[in-house]
A and B are shown apart, each in its own frame.
Chain A
Amino acid sequence: DAGVIQSPRHEVTEMGQEVTLRCKPISGHNSLFWYRQTMMRGLELLIYFNNNVPIDDSGMPEDRFSAKMPNASFSTLKIQPSEPRDSAVYFCASSFPGSSYNEQFFGPGTRLTVL
């Protein structure tokens, strides 16, 4: 079974450029989460969707960040313009209703470096 799929796995860009991260959740999962992981701040929830609808975006750092989920099998996280402090590993996770302990299934992550 395919797990959560993220692309690209690595992204190196220059300050000011637009960055788009992509995620395909596990089929049948109806909740999707975007996280950012850094050494300083750990694993932070940025935004999550339920049935393609954004439920909580209180973790989105600022207006430069936006996320969409146009259908049940695809989501994007966009940073425009990117800044060096956005360098981090970005994870997408998905879950399904009634999962034990509200388990979230994480993708392999996208390592973003902004120069």
Chain B
Amino acid sequence: QQQVKQSPQSLIVQKGGISIINCAYENTAFDYFPWYQQFPGKGPALLIAIRPDVSEKKEGRFTISFNKSAKQFSLHIMDSQPGDSATYFCAASMGDKIIFGKGTRLHILP
């Protein structure tokens, strides 16, 4: 049973454009919703995270939008750069465990 559904699987965006990745969850008991970024040959690393009592969180060019009633959240990358090309995982955590989405491979065209 997939508890966190992520889309799209892959995304190509022009440099300077906005990248948007969407996720949906089922279990209302999750306490945090992080996004992890993974570059080729590396392990995932925490990029940005949000609590379910907050509707939006912004860190630089990265913004999480959270819709608790719809059980959906999304990552927006403004002014996307070639260095943002990576795989992005949305996730939901409960206690020690983190449930990851299947990932989105983002490619930013120069």
Report if A and B associate in a common complex.
Answer: yes
B34-75 toward A: CB 8 Å interface, digit per residue (1/0)?
Answer: 100000011111100100000000000000000000000000
Report if B93 contacts A (CB, 8 A).
Answer: yes
Among B41, B98, B103, find the residue whose CB has the most chain A CB atoms closer than 10 A: B98
Q: Using a Cβ–Cβ cut-off of 8 Å, how many residues does chain A contribute to the interface with B? A: 23
A45 touches B98 (CB 8 A): yes
A42 touches B45 (CB 8 A): no
Instruction: Give the Cβ gap from A64 to chain B, nearest Cβ, in Å.
Output: 23
C-alpha spacing A105/B45, complex, angstroms: 7
The closest CB in chain B to the CB of A42 belongs to B102
A91 touches B96 (CB 8 A): no
B32 touches A43 (CB 8 A): no
Taking CB atoms and an 8 Å cut-off, the chain A residues in 75-115 that contact chain B are: 91, 93, 95, 100-109
Given A101-B34, A101-B49, A102-B32; A91-B43 close (CB under 8 Å): yes
In the complex, which of the residues A41, A43, A91, A101 contacts B46, with contact meaning CB atoms closer than 8 Å?
Answer: A101
A107 touches B96 (CB 8 A): no
B101 touches A104 (CB 8 A): no
Q: Which residues of B contact A108 (CB under 8 A)?
A: 41-43
Q: Using a Cβ–Cβ cut-off of 8 Å, how many residues does chain B contribute to the interface with A? A: 21
In the complex, which of the residues A43, A48, A100 contacts B96, with contact meaning CB atoms closer than 8 Å?
Answer: A48
Report if B25 contacts A (CB, 8 A).
Answer: no
| B residues at A contact (CB < 8 Å) | 31-32, 34, 41-46, 49, 89, 93, 95-103
The closest CB in chain A to the CB of B45 belongs to A106
Instruction: Give the Cβ gap from B80 to chain A, nearest Cβ, in Å.
Output: 23
Instruction: Give the Cβ gap from B1 to chain A, nearest Cβ, in Å.
Output: 12
C-alpha spacing A101/B59, complex, angstroms: 15
Report if A55 contacts B (CB, 8 A).
Answer: yes
Instruction: Give the Cβ gap from B8 to chain A, nearest Cβ, in Å.
Output: 14
B34 touches A95 (CB 8 A): no
B43 touches A4 (CB 8 A): yes
- Of all A-B residue pairs in the complex, the 3 with the closest CB atoms, nearest first, are A106-B43, A42-B102, A101-B49
